[in-house]
Amino acid sequence: MAVCVAVIAKENYPLYIRSIPTENELKFHYMVHTSLDVVDEKISAMGKALVDQRELYLGLLYPTEDYKLCSYGYVTNSKVKFVMVVDSSNTALRDNEIRSMFRKLHNSYTDVMCNPFYNPGDRIQSRAFDSMVTSMMVQVC
Amino acid sequence: MSPTQWDFPVELCCRPMAFVTLTGLDVVYNAVHRAVWDAFCANRRADRVPISFKVLPGDHEYPKCRPKRTSYEWYIPKGILKTGWMNKHLNLVPALVVVFYELDWDEPQWKEKQSECATRVEIVRQSLQGRNTKVAVVLIQKKTPLPPGEDVTASERAAALCNACELSGKSLFVLPHTDHLVGYIIRLENAFYEHAQTYYYTEIRRVKSHKEFLNKTTHQLLFVRHQFKIAFFSELKQDTQNALKNYRTAYNLVHELRAHETNILEIKTMAGFINYKASVTYPNPDPLETQTGVLDFYGQRSWRQGILSFDLSDPEKEKVGILAVQLKERSVVHSEIIITLLSNAVAQFKKYKCPRMKSHLMVQMGEEYYYAKDYTKALKLLDYVMCDYRSEGWWTLLTSILTTALKCSYLMAQLKDYITYSLELLGRASTLKDDQKSRIEKNLINVLMNESPDPEPDCDVLAVKTAQKLWSDRISLAGSNVFTIGMQDFVPFVQCKAKFHAPSFHVDVPVRFDIYLRADCPHPIRFSKLCVSFNNQEYNQFCVIEEATKASEVLENLTQGKMCLVPGKTRKFLFKFVAKTEDVGKKVEITSVDLVLGHETGRCVVLNWQGGGGDAASSQEALQASRSFKRRPKLPDNELHWDSIVIQASTMIISRVPNISVHLRHDPPALTNEMYCLVVTVESHEKTQIRDVKLTAGLKPGQDANLTQKTHVSLHGTELCDESYPALLTDISVGDLHPGEQLEKMLYVRCGTVGSRMFLVYVSYLINTTIEDKEIVCKCHKDETVTIETVFPFDVAVKFVSTKFEHLERVYADIPFLLMTDLLSASPWALTVVSSELQLAPSMTPVDQLESQVDKVVLQTGESASECFCLRCPSVGSVEGGVATGHYIISWKRTSAMGNVPVISTVITLPHVIVENIPLHVNADLPSFGRVRESLPVKYHLQNKTNLVQDVEISVEPSDAFMFSGLKQIRLRILPGTEQEMLYNFYPLMAGYQQLPSLNVTLLRFPHFTNQLLRRFIPTSIFVKPQGRLVDDTSIAAA
């Protein structure tokens, strides 16, 4: 399923990034970082649309050729980005599944934000969020 | 594996052209044939049809056609595209075979020749068995043919030949060998081209017809193959549009292929081929070498050809195969190829505005350069992208780049870079583990002690050897060993914050500030010097902490503790200095903080923070800290939370607090134009004598500009000041003051207009004080402002009345009237009217003396003083807007003012008055009162004021209160300028205020002259006293 999940702040620095431990972590960092190019482009293209009608899910950002991985993006109204890298060989994973995974991630992120002791902009250190991400990474693979 | 394997094969890159073979031409020995061939192949310019010709012998063996499959049901494709296929259709299988044959229509041995020709055609057909290749015959003739239809023999024989060779008439051509050879050849070519197109068209149809037999599960590869073939044939047919369309479809089909590690190379190769074809706009200019063609299918491993199952059937063979490929691979300088490709990619992503992808590729490029041992270029690239990652806060990536960069700088023995990267790798942004950090710190300390660092891990052994040599050379090298590194562009392991204790300091107290330092490295680190620079460099010398020299080794323990930064602990260094008196009112700013690591004797590095500290990450951290609601855990005394320290890099130097009092005494409001007195009292409360006390007083600057023109200040109250006096008196020296002494200064302000004004009184002085054993002269000042309202001292009302005190709208020429002035005091203070004066305009003449009637009158608030003047205005004719009356001048002062205070003259311009001429003036002479039953003589004077003789009708109406004698009704004439007197004797009958018998005058020439007008001049009633009694009347005495 998801091999890497990242939450990126409005200013484009990572708030949270986790990948499956077996693979090279750096690779995923680079991948998420370069995905932001596409996110930026999509957001600026979307800018003209009405805010309340906007689709938060950005769809496929880019398929990387080397690792048979695809990254998907999602952006909240406060311009916090979620990027998820999935194994593209997993055909069970369709757009709808990805969409629902993002929604789950968003809900969990909202919970983190609701924590009065969390300072927006800090790295996310939450056990609940961690376990949710773990469940998304484990689910199928 | 040669590097050219990564280039596209030549058959892919060349422009596909229809392939036509020519047979039966002996180009070596036959001159005619040679000429024909030359005409075909020489000077093929772009306007000729795209055909590639080849001369082959008539019995040439063409590639055999495989038996056509009728069903694909059991067929499993072994790969996507065979390596020979493109070449086969470009160079081996012709679209058209042309048989050249020398035969004239009038050939005597026609029969034999015809059958020989048929045999040749047959041989060609034989070798093309199973293919759709067209065959055409060209007869080379020596004679120019007659126009068609004229040569009967020719058409008969042509039909017979076609029949014998089984050719359609369209495939038989005649080539007369004459002067116009090239023209004939071009016409031939065009005909060939048409045939070829038909051939490729049928080929496309043929490939398309396979499609219906395919299914998606087993024949995925065939879909791609067929689509590619269709596209390629379209290209041969010169149908670019369809070719492109089909290549695109093929590309999409490639995407649908199931990719696995074993076939990914094949798929990518094919995708690359198709993509290349699809983008014809990128012609490859220089394909170096042809594919040697040892593989059956493009992109398959030679030992695994045609094997489709993804699990490896023969692991041993696989292993050997991989080893073999790897062996070949070793001989290739991949880095060069990769770097070229990467730099192309960088350009591409730069063009399409993908900065992060670009950075990522540049990192890869840098790493590739590192592997290629080109450390200079690697460092340059890595250094370039570092700041992108740093500014976006991707610390993991930054750390990885820094690690590579550190290796590069180590291997080149680049001292400054090595130190810079170490500083950052030890810093809080680095995600390195502690053991790595302590290794780097150890190396850094070694470098600072002018020793060689240990090599970085995972470096090439040879390169390390070279590096060690370089480092040892470095040590022996004398020269600049001081490096200054600016901290604001990266995240070093020492953080610095400067903070002034207050946003402003009085000049008579020392300026204090703290420098906070904190190290993030794993081990304590010593520094040798800490110094601070200011915008005024004179302070720099006071703000230096330096390691004690050897002489004071007694203090060593103490200094050691001081000059050492313990990881995680915030160190505070207090500095203080005495500000210069010139800097009063200026900002003192910390321009930089320098921390020196290492010794100037060995190597030292100066960490330089611009302003009050802070580096590339600190502003974001400060923002986060300011947002945080988290309670910070309590720390032991004298320790601070780093996040809670806010940088304050500048402070204002302000003047010493004055210790004097300034009082203002005055009696508001000010009256317009008076010399308003303002008494300033300055009292010193200082402990010592104050010197050079100066006063600046007057209108506060920055108010309405008109006020400045209408306000004047003077120190002398005895004379009125005029326009030349300023609105603000500056720097009036008032001498020195002893402790407790006070002085008084009077200021006089003259305000020309009403309204409120702000006045400023500013007292400055000098005093000597001592701070920190330094004597300084401080300039202190104190100011007071006061708002003063200015009002008119009095209101003056002027009116014109008739001699009967009746209000006059206008006055009549030559007839006396009264001017009444009314002075109403509006001042809260008593006013003394010193005198008043009426200055008449030339048009007015006084009737009697014009002396003042209000001299020395004192007016309290709300009281008024009136004057009355009798004037006459000679006839002037009609004047627009009336006649000027003159000025009324009042001289006054405050009653309370002293004798030497000047008198103020207020000039009031009197209103203009309208003067009217009248034809007749009547005035009456009569006593001021009458008495009952006593005769009352009344004389009326009638004056003709015109130049005409006036006819006047006069009548007197009787009254109940009077009897009278005289002319009751008369009509008379008055000559110009003369006067007529009428005498009456009235006899009052009743006491009291009685109506007189009224005189009515009618002027025949002036019907407008009415009795109403007349009444203004003559009295209409008189007071009649009762009859008198004798003085000795007892009744009065009794009363």
Read off the pLDDT of residues B589-626 as tens digits, 9 standing for 90 and up.
999 999 998 877 778 889 999 988 888 888 888 888 88
Neighbours of B357 (CB within 10 A): 23
Does the pLDDT value for residue B504 go beyond 90? Answer: yes
Three-state DSSP state, A135: helix
Q: Mean of the pLDDT values across residues B730-746?
A: 89
Amino acid at the residue B645: I
| Residue listed under structure tokens 């590194």 | B485
**Mean pLDDT over residues B255-260, rounded?**
71
Supply the pLDDT for residue B897.
82
For residue B559, what pLDDT is reported?
Answer: 46
Q: What does the DSSP 8-state code read for residue B959?
A: -
Task: List the beta bridge partners of residue B728.
Answer: B698
Per-residue pLDDT of A69-113, as tens digits, reads 778 888 888 889 899 888 776 666 677 888 888 889 999 999 999
Please choose, from the candidates B230, B281, B288, the residue with its C-alpha nearest in 3D space to the C-alpha of residue B89. Answer: B230
Q: What is the pLDDT of residues B97-146, one digit of tens each?
A: 888 888 888 778 888 888 888 888 888 888 887 788 888 888 888 777 66
The one-character DSSP state at B28 is T
> What residue type is B891 in one-letter code?
S
> Which among B412, B313, B312, B404 is positioned nearest to B365, based on CA atoms?
B404
Domain match, B29 and B175 both? yes
Q: Which of B353, B354, B391 to mutate to test the interface with A (most CBs of A within 10 A)?
A: B354
On chain B, the residues whose CB falls within 8 A of the CB of A68 are 259
Which residues form the domain of B589? 492-545+562-623+641-652
Burial class of B4 by CB neighbour count within 10 A (0 to 12, 13 to 18, 19+): middle
- Work out the percent of chain B whose per-residue pLDDT is above 70: 89
Asked whether residue B863 is assigned to any structural domain, the reply reads: yes
Averaging pLDDT over each range in A73-82, B564-573, B786-795, which range is the top one?
Answer: B786-795
What is the least distance, in Å, from the CA of A22 to any CA of chain B? 17
**At residue B550, does pLDDT exceed 70?**
no
Name which of B251-255, B327-331, B353-357 the model is least confident about.
B327-331
Identify whether residues B14 and B138 lie together within a single domain: yes
Q: Give the per-residue pLDDT at B844.
A: 87
Alpha-carbon torsion, ordered B1009, B1012, B1016, B1020, to 10 deg = 130
- The answer to whether the bond into B846 is cis (omega within 30° of 0) is no
Residue B311 has what pLDDT?
47
Kindly list the residues from chain B whose CB atom is less than 8 angstroms away from the CB atom of residue A11.
Answer: 392-393, 620
Q: Do B628 and A119 touch (CB under 8 A)?
A: yes
Among B444, B478, B512, give the residue marking a domain's end.
Answer: B478
B968 falls within a domain: yes
Nearest beta carbon to residue B627 from set A11, A38, A120: A120
B630 within a domain of the structure (yes/no): no
Residues B354 and B380 occupy one common structural domain = yes
Provide the pLDDT for residue B133: 85
Same structural domain, B992 and B878: no
Predicted local distance difference test score (pLDDT) of residue B681: 92
CA–CA gap between residue B884 and residue B174 (Å, rounded): 130
Which H or E run contains B705?
Answer: helix B705-709
**Which SS3 state, helix, strand or coil, does residue B166 take?**
coil
In this prediction, residue B1032 has a pLDDT band, given cuts at 50, 70 and 90, of low
pLDDT tens column, B972-1010: 899 988 888 989 999 999 999 988 888 888 888 888 777
Q: How far apart are CA B532 and CA B544, in angstroms?
A: 7
Does the structure show a pLDDT above 70 at B726? yes
How are strands ordered across the β-sheet holding B929-931?
A: B929-931, B1021-1025, B992-995
pLDDT value at residue B89: 84
pLDDT in tens, A21-64: 766 888 888 888 988 888 888 888 776 655 555 677 877 777 66
Strand B1021-1025 versus strand B962-965 pairing type: unpaired
CA distances for B77 relative to B72, B155, B251, B410, angstroms: 10, 52, 18, 55
Based on the fold, state whether residues B28 and B96 are members of the same structural domain.
Answer: yes
For residue range B437-450, list pLDDT tens digits in order: 999 999 988 888 88
Residue B2 predicted with pLDDT over 60: no
As a whole number of angstroms, the distance between CA B18 and CA B15 comes to 10
Is residue B341 within 8 A of residue B364, CB to CB? The reply is no
C-beta atoms of B360 and A25 within 8 A? no
- Together in a domain, B718 and B748: yes
Separation in Å, CA B297 to CA B69, B79, B451, B940:
20, 6, 59, 151
In this structure, the number of other CB atoms found within 10 A of the CB of residue B165 comes to 24
Q: How far is A122 from chain B (nearest CA, A)?
A: 7
Q: Report yes or no on B213 lying in a domain.
A: no
Cα dihedral A61, A62, A63, A67 sign: negative
Give chain B's domain count: 6
pTM above 0.95, yes or no: no
At residue B13, the pLDDT reads 76
Residues B589, B540 contacting (CB under 8 angstroms) = no
Q: Which residues of chain B have a Cβ shorter than 8 Å from any chain A Cβ?
A: 259, 268, 353-357, 360, 363, 389, 392-394, 396-397, 400, 620, 623-624, 627-630
Interchain CB distance below 8 Å, B394 and A29: yes
Is B360 among the domain residues? yes
The answer to whether the CB atoms of A119 and B624 lie below 8 A apart is yes
Q: How many CB atoms lie within 10 A of CB B531?
A: 18
The answer as to whether B303 is a domain residue is no
Residue B157 lies in a domain: yes
Identify any residues that bridge with B981 across adjacent strands, giving them in sequence order: B941
Mean pLDDT across chain B: 82
Q: Among the three residues B872, B890, B914, which one is the final residue of a domain in this structure?
A: B914
pLDDT tens for each residue of B418-439: 999 999 999 888 888 889 999 9
CB contact under 8 Å between B392 and A12, yes or no, is yes
B696 and B746 inside one domain: yes
Question: Given a cut of 80, is residue B708 above it in pLDDT?
Answer: yes
CATH of the domain at B425: 1.25.40.10
Is there a domain that residue B284 lies in?
Answer: no
Residue to mutate among B358, B385, B396, B433, with most A CBs inside 10 A, is: B396
User: Residues of chain A whose C-beta is under 8 A from some C-beta in B?
Assistant: 11-14, 17, 25-26, 29-30, 33-34, 36-38, 41, 65, 68, 89, 116-117, 119-122
Do B336 and B449 lie in one domain? The reply is yes
Q: What is the pLDDT of residue B261?
A: 67
CATH at residue B573: 2.60.40.3880
Residues B859 and B929 in one domain: no
Contacts of B1023 by beta carbon, 8 Å cutoff, 6+ apart:
B928, B929, B930, B992, B993, B994
Query: Does B501 lie in the same domain as B401?
Result: no
Q: For residue B430, give the nearest of B458, B394, B463, B466 by alpha carbon.
A: B394
pLDDT confidence of residue B286: 30
Angle, helices B355-371/A25-46, rounded to nearest 10 degrees: 150
Same domain, B419 and B464: yes
Q: Which of B143, B166, B195 is the last residue of a domain?
A: B195
Mean pLDDT along residues B358-381: 89
| Residue B497 shares a structural domain with residue B585 | yes
- 3-state DSSP call for residue A79? coil
* Minimal Cβ distance to B624: which of A12, A41, A121: A121
CB contact under 8 Å between B354 and A37, yes or no, is: yes
Per-residue pLDDT tens digits for B189-247: 888 888 888 888 888 888 888 877 777 777 778 888 888 888 888 888 887 778 888 88
* Domain CATH number, residue B694: 2.60.40.10
